[in-house]
Structures are given as structure tokens and as C-alpha cells.
Amino acid sequence: MFTTTQLRKKYLDFFQIKNHKITPSASVIPENDPTVLFTTAGMHPLVPYLSGEKHPEGQRLASVQKCIRTGDIDEVGDSSHMTFFEMLGNWSLGDSSEPDGIGRAGYFKQEAINWSWEFLTDENWLGLDKSKLAVSVFAGDEDAPRDEESAKIWAELGVPENRIVYLPKKNNWWGPAGTTGPCGPDTEIFYWRGEGMPPTDSNPETDEDNWLEIWNNVFMQYDKTVEGKYNPLKQKNVDTGMGLERTVLVLNNLVDPYQVDTCWPIIQKLEELSGREYIESIEVTKSMRIIVDHLRATVMIMGDNYGVAPSNTDQGYIVRRLIRRAIRHGKLIGLKENFTTIIAEVIINIFQDVYSEVEKNKEFVMLELAKEESKFRNTIEQGIKEFEKLLNGLRMAFEKTGQNITEISAKQAFKLYDTYGFPLEMTMEMAGENGMTVDADGFHEEFKKHQDLSRVGAEQKFKGGLADDGEMSKKYHTATHLLHHALRQILGEHVAQKGSNITDERMRFDFNHPEKMTDVEIAKVEKIVNQAIEADYAVKFEEMNLGEAKKLGAIGLFADKYGDKVKVYTIGDAGKEPFSQEICGGPHAERTGELGEFKIIKEESSSSGVRRIKAVLR
């Protein structure tokens, strides 16, 4: 069986031969990027470099990135959707027609397409059957022309005309990440999953159920303006991605991605705990998939170096939702006792040699999971009590009016779900036991309204970040360095950044500390930061390797997201002891005097052992 370990190694070995620098996976919690809750693709940590900032490792990069995507949580349980997955990616930061002598200059469509085809089909690499592959390219519209260049390259590689399909922007276009910025066409590679050989008239447009996308080459060649125009981009980039689980599925001819070696041991443990078989029914299969997916994602989020605990806001809300949905489906397959920590143990054993942080943070993961599972089981009990109150109310109404209400309304069912965390399936089950029905269609409409409102709120909330290199974002980003240093000076050197969130209006900084800060401590921290601003220190960076950065004493999570070379930002006067030295990617102000007055507006708990500061510059 072809394993995930083998594929990770083959992929990175291939691109290392092509003179790419291998970089480690970034955190699944984006650093200083509030445009998204989680890292959803390998390109997120590279946003500043896609926009023109120089990467310390050069123009060619490759990595295996941990990714979390939450937009399809309700679809998880089928044979394709996954919340946590690993993405193999290679990048060219700039298109250069002039060689640099060592093969490290940027590249564009020709090289990206050639290499993806070589890796997939060459017998020395994956050796996939060429006759079972098809590709799609951008069909063109009023914003940008048809991508004839990519189609021509595919044809030259031997892809037959009937396997090259032109699809619209919704299928073959990437970005921008926000409303403006780098974007462009992409070309996708699909593998035939149907029986036998693909029919002549079959392609990803006419028969999408049987063609599985396994690789995507994005060509960032346009800059979308605020007026909605698409201008040629000064720095052209290549951003590619190949799903690890999907590709291992294809290589082993498996039925679904839950049978790959990073998922199957979890299924086996669930079978052992429940006495049920994965394939015994559609319902059991779906529930086991949901448990595996949601707890894998939970462990990766909580076990991250910026790990977060379950809560009612932001990433913590997603963690709570994943855990509770897993517990609900555990109940459906007969798991009556707490089981999430047992499954987490299996997941950590699978990934500890690939992502050491999950083992390092194991105690935190286990503690928070156990607390959340016990809490939710109590919630279910409360939901049952609320259901019984609802039922008694309906009975009393019948005694008074003689009107026999046999259906629980959509609003009543949604209140049980939204307010008490009570699953719709349990409401329907208990209603049936009492000779009643539930307006499930209406419930789903209420749920969709709730999702739409949440999505709008999230779109309004998460703006800026590293994708935003405006003046205020640069100032706030620089202020995080000053704040970090001040906190370590006042609270102790145990303080380490656990995450941050920056917009052009305010900053949020999370850090580990066991107790609430006092008013005196807050005032002292403010004073240190403002003194650094008044000193008008220079903000400079220097590229160096990790060993040099460590010797220098630069602050940074060395094992998390940084490659062999890093940028160390020094804040202070030349020739004197620096105020701050920290590994970071940018963007920054040039001098601290540009920042204005620093004011902490709130200090609060973020999660267990983690405090949060909200501050403004004015």
C-alpha cells in the first residue's frame, strides 16, 4: 500500500531536485491574518511574498501544509469532504525569464504544468496511467481571455483534445483573497474514478462524478482593482496544490479518503469501541466518517503551537462545534461513554512523527477534550429537560383549547439546537416517541438564515491581516513586537505569543499567562510600549539561518512555519542593545515613532492558560 509518508517524501524530493527550498508547515491558526479563521491552503502564509516581499528562502518553495476548511462541515460524512487535510504545494514567487545560474529563479506556466505532469505520470515518481487523466483550463470571459497557453502546453505533453476542457471562472479561477489583489486562471488535473477506462466523450465537465480533482496549478497574473478591473500583475506567481489524502486514495484504488493510513486506524478503533462495522450501513459509515474527520481537525487545531480551546467565539467556536458533532454521532453508533480522548490518542500517534507539536501539546488536547465532552453530555441532559418542558406546554395548550398540536415548529426545534445545543436528530427521535413530528424543512431554512447571518458577520469582521499591507496594519504589526517585549519584561519570560489578529482599526494579541493581569501591570506594559514609540527606534530586518537567530536570542516558534532562513526584525538604535528582536514575516513600519499612542482597551481570557489583549493606536 502506498502510504502518506511515502507520498510526502516523494513530493518534496521531486521538487527539491527542481531546486525548490523545502519549508515546514505553517500553523493552522493564521498569524496576524484575520481574513480567515484557519489556514485553508499553503498560500496563506505566503501572502506577503506573493505581493512582492522577498522570501528569505528564495523564489522556489515547496511544502506539506496542514489545512482546515470549515465551510463544508455540514457536508462532511460523504466520500469527499474533509475539514482537516494535508496539501502538497509548490510555488514560484515571480516569473523570471533570465536564469540565475543555480536554477532558483522564478517560473510560470510551462514549468509548473510540465512538472506536475512528470510527477504524476513518470514511473520513477507516481506512475499514474496517462489515459485516466484529464485537465481543465479557464474558458475566458469579459475580465480575462481564454487560457490558450495552458491548453497548448497540455496538448504538447500528449493530453488528447477530448480530455482538455474549458470551464468558467467558478471552476478555473483563483482569487483574489479579498476584494482586490493578485488573482488569475488555474488549470486542474483530474483522475478517472469510474469503472474500466473513461469513455471517449467523458471529461470533468460532462461526467464530474467520475473525475476526481487531484492537482491545481494557479497562475497569478492579474491584479483586481477596487474598480473591478483586471490589470496585468507586476509579479507573476505560481501557486499549486495537491491533496495528500485524495492522491493516496487514487494510488491505492480506495473507495474513499477515510481508508488512507492517516484515517483508517481511527475507523478501526471506532469499530472496536462501538462493536459496529464501518461498511454495515450508510448511517454507520457516515457517522464514523464525521467522528474521524471532526476529531482529526480538533486535535490539529488544539494541538497546534497556537492551539485554541473550545469556546463560544472565533476558532474556539469551530472547535466546540466539531467536538459536539462528533459526540452526537458517537451516540448514534452506540458510544455511551466518553470516547474523544481515546480517539485523540490514536490521532496523535498517527501524526506525532510528522507534526511534533501535536505530541508536545498532548496534555492540553486531552484535558480540554475531556472537559468539553463531559460538559456537552450535561448539555444534552439539559436539552432533554427543555424538550420535556416544550412537550408539557403543548399538552397544556391542548387541555385549554382542545387543539391537538402534533408538530414541533421549525423555530422551536431551532431554539433547542441554537440555545441548548440539542441536535435536530434527537428532537425528531423524541418527537416520534411521543407521536409527534418536527418541521425539519423549516428547521433547515432557519439554520440557513443563521449561517447566512454568521457568514455576513464573518466577512465584515475578518478583513486585513498580512493580505493588507496598508499603513495602519504595518503600524499595528510593529506594535505587536513592542507589546510582546513589554509583556515579557513585566510578567516574565514565560510569556510567548499564542496568536494575533490585526485590522487597520485595532490589534488583538494572545499570549500564555496563568492569571488575569492587574491594572498596575497593564499600566506598566502601556508605559514601556509608549516609551519605545517615543524613542522613535528604527525597525530593521536581516535574513539569517535559524542557528544564527537562536544565538542572537530572537523570539520565535522555531519549529513552526519557518524554513532554514528567517527574517529577524530588530527594533532599536544601531550600536546599542536592541529593544526587541523577533522572527517575523512583516509588514512593518520603518520607525516606531510612526505608531502614535498605544492604549490597551481590554485584557481578558482567551482560553485555558491564554490571555488576550485588545489595543489601539491613536
Given 226, 258, 290, which residue is the final one in a domain? 258
**Cell (9 digits) for 187:** 488549470
186 is a domain residue: yes
Q: Does the pLDDT of residue 468 top 70, yes or no?
A: no
Task: Say yes or no: 574 and 604 in one domain.
Answer: yes
Question: Which of the residue ranges 195-199, 388-392, 442-446 has the most confident prediction, judged by mean pLDDT?
Answer: 195-199
Number of domains within the chain = 3
Q: Does the pLDDT of residue 71 top 90, yes or no?
A: no
Task: Say yes or no: 144 and 162 in one domain.
Answer: yes
Question: How much of the chain is helix, strand and coil, in % rounded to 5?
Answer: 45, 20, 35
Task: Say yes or no: 11 and 111 in one domain.
Answer: yes
Closest CA to 463 of 36, 30, 20: 36
State pLDDT tens for residues 284-307.
Answer: 999 999 999 999 999 999 999 888
Lowest mean pLDDT among 279-283, 463-467, 614-618: 463-467
Give yes or no for a contact between 100 and 106, defined as CB atoms under 8 angstroms apart. Answer: no
Tell me the residue ranges of DSSP E strands in 401-506: 407-408, 437-438, 497-502
State pLDDT tens for residues 100-156.
Answer: 556 678 899 999 999 999 999 999 999 999 999 999 999 999 999 999 999 999 999
Task: Say yes or no: 101 and 230 in one domain.
Answer: yes
Q: Does the pLDDT of residue 217 top 90, yes or no?
A: yes
CA distance 93 to 59: 5
More confident residue, 525 or 98: 525
357 is a domain residue: yes
443 is a domain residue: no
Task: Say yes or no: 219 and 279 in one domain.
Answer: no
pLDDT of residue 34: 61
Q: Does the pLDDT of residue 569 top 80, yes or no?
A: yes
State pLDDT tens for residues 359-380.
Answer: 999 999 999 999 999 988 877 7
From first CA to last CA, the distance across the chain in angstroms is 60
292 is a domain residue: yes
Given 232, 258, 284, which residue is the final one in a domain? 258
Given 361, 387, 405, which residue is the final one in a domain? 405
pLDDT of residue 462: 36
412 is a domain residue: no
Task: Say yes or no: 77 and 125 in one domain.
Answer: yes
Task: Say yes or no: 197 and 318 in one domain.
Answer: no
pLDDT of residue 549: 83
Q: Does the pLDDT of residue 611 top 70, yes or no?
A: yes
575 burial via Cβ count (<10 Å: 0-12, 13-18, 19+): exposed
Task: Say yes or no: 233 and 270 in one domain.
Answer: no
434 is a domain residue: no
Q: What CATH number is associated with residue 117?
A: 3.30.930.10
CA distances from 504 to 167, 346, 462 (A): 37, 42, 11
Task: Say yes or no: 236 and 380 in one domain.
Answer: no
Range of the domain at 491: 470-617
Task: Say yes or no: 205 and 287 in one domain.
Answer: no
Q: What is the DSSP letter of 555?
A: B
62 is a domain residue: yes
Task: Say yes or no: 26 and 41 in one domain.
Answer: yes
Q: Is the full-model pTM beyond 0.85? A: no
Q: What is the mean pLDDT of the chain?
A: 87
444 is a domain residue: no
61 burial via Cβ count (<10 Å: 0-12, 13-18, 19+): buried
Task: Say yes or no: 347 and 480 in one domain.
Answer: no
